[in-house]
Chain A
């Protein structure tokens, strides 16, 4: 959680260079035209020399001179040792001469007054020195110009040449000193085979108290310590050693902070974070962070301190109006900062991330959500989870709302809104709480704090109404469910991941195993309508059997209705082919306890038993027993299922008509195949 250096910061020289030349020539050329000039500068075709011709016409002598020399650079660079045509000795000598001339030309340009093209000449001189083998000149150019090269992309290129040169000469100590001085962090880390300790940091500090590498080295040390202390595998001895090292760091950083360097804020915030990891009283840590905030620093260090204060405050401060006012301000800032920082692509999660999205995740999911849930405020917890999730979802390449990837307009993204933490919270909270959540998002309800977070939430009425309707359906509240279903926009249902699974009819016999059942062509046009049909049908049948029960008219018609209902409930349960009517995902591996506790399964068992008693005809008995057998989970000998299987098997031999369909019961056939000896 400590970030004073953006390790994922990437500079793209090509893109930056195009932007530079576009600006230089008054934004009159396209990216492609600029690239043609820069890349194909050796060509004499007019198409490739648009910029050069423009600068000539404007009388820009300096610009023309640079682009002309760039042609020489491009020509020299064409000699590549990794092509099939390996250069001859003469070609190599000629090439070295060309690079040497390029170096001389560019180095001369740097002797005079600085111009807007000076930084580009620094890079050109370094390239020339590198390829002509002037290793000493390479370091000299950089040392005398580094301070003026503010363009990160050029600096990174220059440092790349330098690093290659040091590696080539094998001077580790010299290279290390140089990297510390110039802040070439990646190369510096590679020179340290050991773990970075306080001793390493102190050694650098004693030699170079203003080294640019501290933001990186200190970050590496602190975050590594955090990973160690929070490792899944606990180890007291290891943790104790890490804490001893952190205590050393607290002592050292305290003295570094009083040394009067330009990096005092860094040392103060690093010390506070080390104290935090050591378990020092959080109020003391918060004060140390406040001290760090008072000292002038660069934006990254200041943001880091602010994030650490937010983490600390979220853990210890009482949740009240004052706290929530602070939270509104800080989360708004954090969210905007996260949205502004260039993300990196995390291949493990398919998401774009950056340090601030990580902080948001930590503060919300690890600290605030558990605290609000403990206070029995699930709606606030869900709103907060939504803020963090939405920040992530808009950075998730598979989500259609992610604008960080170019998507073909015909390609629809995967709807990942059914896999988020906030979805899981909505799916498991009470229906009443889900309705309250819906009210906060769509009707300005809830607390002031909740309302302040709404602009950062994923807010889609159809999504919410569908979830509420599903929850009501699971509770047999079909009438109110239908009201919410009516509010779901048909266009929204087109992009639902479960759309194809909604096109299964709930009327076929459940005993034909799920994977053998096929979707219903009639439902394929408007599969979502199946939810409404199901509600209507259930409502009708439930009313019919309730009426019969009231009149105590438990006859064959009652049995038929109860059986129909049971069949539909089984189909709409996780065991049935129409699981998508009441679920958003289905797993091959089902938790048997969860299935047994499913309200639809329980209701189906009651209905089948009731139907069995109401009509003692052989056909009715067989199909009801088949249903009960299908729902039974106990597979041991002498279990209910075993008894049912034996009973059904006997009936199969003697029954006629409908009862003979038992032969089609896949579950029974599987059971017999696996337990043949029982029969």
Chain B
């Protein structure tokens, strides 16, 4: 039986026997409840505000990104050797201070889908590395989450990878979860214990016409009905971050980092999240190889941020389709720059149910 056939059958059987996970499967729930947060940086070091956030909002667990897996040329003495691309870990989390929060840790590994076919031992390598990472850094864990922007073309390889990971985790009495992007709703569910529905990155950030590339209710409405028949238990993750997308004409140039969009010497606020560059200056981008990229008058910056009301509306929409979805709510992500843009009341309203 091919992998694809197996999943189609699994899906059909689960739908036939149990109806839907969200409406008729009280036993098929995410094993957690309460508040959680993603931590998606390369160094572990919390500011006072971030600690306060965790305490004030009774955050019970942290989904901690440990490392990425990407295809890279092999390195020898720090120099890339031309040859065959192989999956390798990068941007491993470094602890500048020990982990001392009273919250449960759920390790997360981000993997690019082009890695999936090239290494048959990938699942073993990932699990072993996660285990060693947690042991070295004194982290207790009983679950691993995989984050991957897989498509139909890479689905089989991804599911095969997850199956192997899941089998290895079972030996350690650990669960496996995965992030689910909205577009992945049209595909069979991955073989994991539960999924986290990413209610962000819903639009094309390189398209100027995309009004809000982080979260659009229109996109959510499109996929929300599929929740009813989705065979996996799900939690939802909501965004509290912003993007500054720089465009020259209609062409996307870069995301801007560390740029004060309210600096009126540099920008004219044209309303509705659109800013026009008034004064040329050299900007900082998240790309470490591009320094001092010149921004010119006439360039435009699209500021994408998600108003709390939009998040509440999306929650309401999804709640209707899947009442169990908000048993656990995850915020993306724990970062002072982002969370400080929201009031405590607003954060609370993201975490709690109801309008």
Residues of A bordering B, CB below 8 Å? 7, 39-40, 74, 77, 81-89, 92, 168-170, 186, 189-190, 193-197, 220, 223-228, 231-233, 235, 238, 241-242, 245
Contact = CB atoms under 8 A, between A and B. Distances in A.
B265 interface: yes
Interface stretch (B87-95, B196-204, B302-310): B87-95
Contacts of A233: 297-298
Contacts of A228: 278-280, 296-297
B296 to A, nearest CB: 6
Given A170-B45, A193-B258, A241-B265, A86 B280 contact: no
B132 interface: yes
A92 B132 CA distance: 12
Nearest to A196: B281
Nearest to A220: B282
Contacts of A224: 279-282, 294
B90 A82 contact: yes
A238 B263 contact: no
A195 B265 contact: yes
Contacts of B284: 189-190, 193
Contacts of B292: 7, 186, 189, 220
Interface in B107-137: 125, 128-129, 132-133, 135-136
B227 to A, nearest CB: 37
B297 to A, nearest CB: 4
B88 to A, nearest CB: 7
B63 to A, nearest CB: 19
B291 interface: yes
A194 B263 contact: yes
B263 A227 contact: no
7 contacts: A83-B89, A168-B43, A193-B260, A193-B284, A227-B294, A228-B296, A241-B279
Interface string B81-108: 0000000111110101000000000000
Contact of A194 (B45, B90, B135, B266): B266
B266 A86 contact: no
Given A86-B136, A224-B279, A190 B294 contact: no
A233 B266 CA distance: 15
Contacts of B88: 82-84
B171 interface: no
Interface in B262-310: 263, 265-266, 278-282, 284, 291-292, 294, 296-298
Contacts of A77: 78
B77 interface: yes
B282 A189 contact: yes
B47 interface: yes
A85 B284 CA distance: 34
Contact of B263 (A195, A220, A232): A195
B136 to A, nearest CB: 5
A84 B279 contact: no
A194 B260 CA distance: 6
Contacts of B78: 77
A81 to B, nearest CB: 5
Interface string B19-56: 00000000000000000000000010101000000000
Contacts of B128: 84
B187 interface: no
B136 A189 contact: no
A228 B133 CA distance: 50
A242 B278 CA distance: 9
B161 to A, nearest CB: 16
Nearest to B284: A190
Contacts of A241: 265, 278-279
A193 B263 contact: yes
Contacts of A245: 265
Interface residues of B, number: 38
Contact of A227 (B89, B91, B132, B280): B280
Given A86-B129, A86-B136, A195-B265, A231 B291 contact: no
A235 B92 CA distance: 47
Contacts of A235: 278, 297
Given A88-B136, A225-B280, 12 more contacts: A87-B132, A87-B136, A88-B135, A169-B96, A170-B45, A190-B284, A193-B284, A220-B281, A227-B294, A228-B297, A232-B298, A235-B278
Which of A82, A83, A92: most chain B Cβ within 10 A? A82
A162 to B, nearest CB: 16
Given A84-B88, A86-B133, A195 B279 contact: yes
A197 B94 CA distance: 36
A233 B268 CA distance: 14
A238 B89 contact: no
Nearest to A81: B92
Nearest to A224: B280
A59 to B, nearest CB: 29
Contact of A238 (B43, B67, B278, B291): B278
B94 A89 contact: no
Nearest to B92: A81
A653 B125 CA distance: 79
B96 A168 contact: yes
B259 interface: yes
A157 to B, nearest CB: 12
Contacts of B45: 168, 170
Nearest 8 interchain pairs by C-beta: A227-B280, A231-B297, A233-B298, A193-B260, A224-B280, A86-B132, A195-B266, A195-B281
A190 B293 CA distance: 11
A598 B95 CA distance: 73
A139 B266 CA distance: 34
A194 B265 contact: yes
A238 B280 CA distance: 11
Given A186-B292, A193-B259, A170 B47 contact: yes
Contact of B92 (A86, A92, A189): A86
Contact of B77 (A39, A85, A92, A242): A39
Contacts of B280: 223-228, 231
Nearest to A168: B96
A231 B248 CA distance: 12
Contacts of B281: 195-196, 220, 224
Contact of B291 (A74, A186, A197): A186
Contacts of A170: 45, 47
Count chain B CB atoms within 10 A of each CB in A7, A40, A86 and give the residue with the most: A86
Contacts of A231: 280, 296-298
A169 B89 CA distance: 25
Nearest to B124: A84
Contacts of A168: 43, 45, 96
Nearest to A238: B278
B278 to A, nearest CB: 5
Nearest to A242: B279
Contacts of B278: 228, 235, 238, 241
Contacts of A193: 258-260, 263, 284
B22 to A, nearest CB: 38
Nearest to A227: B280
A194 B262 CA distance: 9
Nearest to A77: B78
Contacts of B77: 39-40, 74
A84 B136 CA distance: 14
A156 to B, nearest CB: 13
B136 A82 contact: no
A7 B47 CA distance: 33
A81 B129 CA distance: 11
B140 to A, nearest CB: 15
B336 to A, nearest CB: 10
B128 to A, nearest CB: 8
A345 to B, nearest CB: 13
A201 to B, nearest CB: 14
A666 B89 CA distance: 60
